[in-house]
Amino acid sequence: MQLKRLLSSNIFYSILLSLLVFGCVDTPNTPTKKAQLYDTLSTPFPESGIIVLCEGLWNYNNSDIYVYNNSTGKTLSSYFKTATGKYLGDIVSDMKVLEDGRIIFTATGTKELILLDYKVPAITSKITIPYDRAAPRSLTTIGDKYYYTDLYRDELRSGIIGDTLSTPNQVFTTGPAPEDIIAHNGKLYIANSGFGDYRKEVKNAGTLQILDPNTGKSEYIYIGPNLIQLSINRTENYIACGYLNTPSAVEKGELGGIKFVDLMTNKILREMPLKDFSDVVLSESTGAIYYLSEGGLYVFPHINSRAIPQLIYENTTKDVWPSLSIDDAKNEIWIGNARNFQRDGEVIIISTDGTLLRTIQVGKNPRKVVGY
């Protein structure tokens, strides 16, 4: 897991600008009530499936998505490379699936926002961010507005989602090196990482920032060094904040972990110090807490439980597992296995009781998995 931390830290320090150019492939489909097509894609999406965003490696310009078909069990591999001859971009770090059948992507390395209408399918909007040192990282939406964290500029930027994406025109100040972001009840919850060791002493490093975009006012709650992951339980109104700790502290044996914040009082409910923590997800249907830490996947039955967390799926290969997702409707957990970051990865799909169901072979560094 030390390798994972070093490589993750290197991504932060080393992301370089690349230029993304898409090919164009004719399609028999035509859009309805959508913008003029930027790129049309010849390969249709399955009616329902799983989308895996593979971030790739910095400066390799090899980010792409893999689309798993729920009906056939087959996977559309390296979707954009296959459909256009070009990958999606460099360090495409997040995606947001909208209810109307569209997906917004943030490309950190190539400094782009990309809008895909997967019903057509077609890219209907692509914005190269014009300002200096842009590094769009994670994104969320409130109504018809998108919001993304900018890793290098300590900012949150916003624009409008219409038939196309408007250029981001609203700016909010964040803490140093903002990573993950979640929207809830009109507010934005932001993980200010502090860039590991690099900016750990800067004001508001390692904090959960609660921003009201209507007033521009923020509250900061200190969580821990290198805070990068957020997961919310909207039913029970709390948020899980996962921090890695800094590389130098980890070398000394210090722990990362998870702190849970009550969204009514903004007070910390409880803490879970963990070795080799990497990600956490919350089940709204059962209240269970799932997280990746030393040894594999663990479950904790409830925020108010006094039980001991249980290891339900062991990482016997000692591969790097950087990401975790949950499908409450299907009672499935999706583990992104990056192996050693240099080889193609996989998504390990298990039941919520830890039974292996299947695996999906994907590309390098599966960062996010979403069902649709």
* Helices and strands, counts by H and E, the chain: 3, 29
Q: Quote the CA–CA distance of 3 and 278 in Å, as a whole number.
A: 12
When pLDDT is cut at 50, 70 and 90, the band that residue 37 belongs to is low
Report the phi/psi class of residue 296: left, alpha or beta, with left for phi > 0 and alpha for psi in -120 to 50: left
When pLDDT is cut at 50, 70 and 90, the band that residue 29 belongs to is very low
pLDDT, average across residues 159-178: 97
Q: Which value, in Å, is the radius of gyration of the alpha carbons in the chain?
A: 19
Q: Quote the CA–CA distance of 250 and 345 in Å, as a whole number.
A: 25
Q: Quote the CA–CA distance of 289 and 258 in Å, as a whole number.
A: 11
User: Is 122:27 a contact under the CB 8 Å cutoff?
Assistant: yes
Residue 23, pLDDT score: 31
Q: What percentage of the chain reaches a pLDDT higher than 70? A: 90
CA neighbor of 35 nearest in space, from 141, 158, 147, 161:
161
Residue 7, pLDDT score: 40
Q: Quote the CA–CA distance of 151 and 168 in Å, as a whole number.
A: 15
Coil, helix or strand at residue 5 = helix
When pLDDT is cut at 50, 70 and 90, the band that residue 25 belongs to is very low
Q: Is the pLDDT of residue 14 over 90?
A: no
Beta strands in 213-293 (DSSP E): 218-222, 227-233, 238-243, 256-262, 268-274, 279-282, 289-293
Residue 42, pLDDT score: 78
When pLDDT is cut at 50, 70 and 90, the band that residue 38 belongs to is low
User: Which one of 1.10.3720.10, 3.40.50.460, 2.130.10.10, 3.60.40.10 gives the CATH number of domain 1-173?
Assistant: 2.130.10.10
User: Is 64:56 a contact under the CB 8 Å cutoff?
Assistant: yes
Q: What is the mean pLDDT of the chain?
A: 91
Distances (CA, A) of 248 to 6, 9, 111: 10, 11, 29
pLDDT, average across residues 326-353: 97
Q: Tell me how long the chain is.
A: 372
Coil, helix or strand at residue 13 = helix
Residue in the structure block whose two tokens are 């993750």 = 8
Q: Quote the CA–CA distance of 230 and 138 in Å, as a whole number.
A: 11
CA dihedral 292, 352, 354, 68 (to 10 degrees): -80
pLDDT, average across residues 35-55: 83
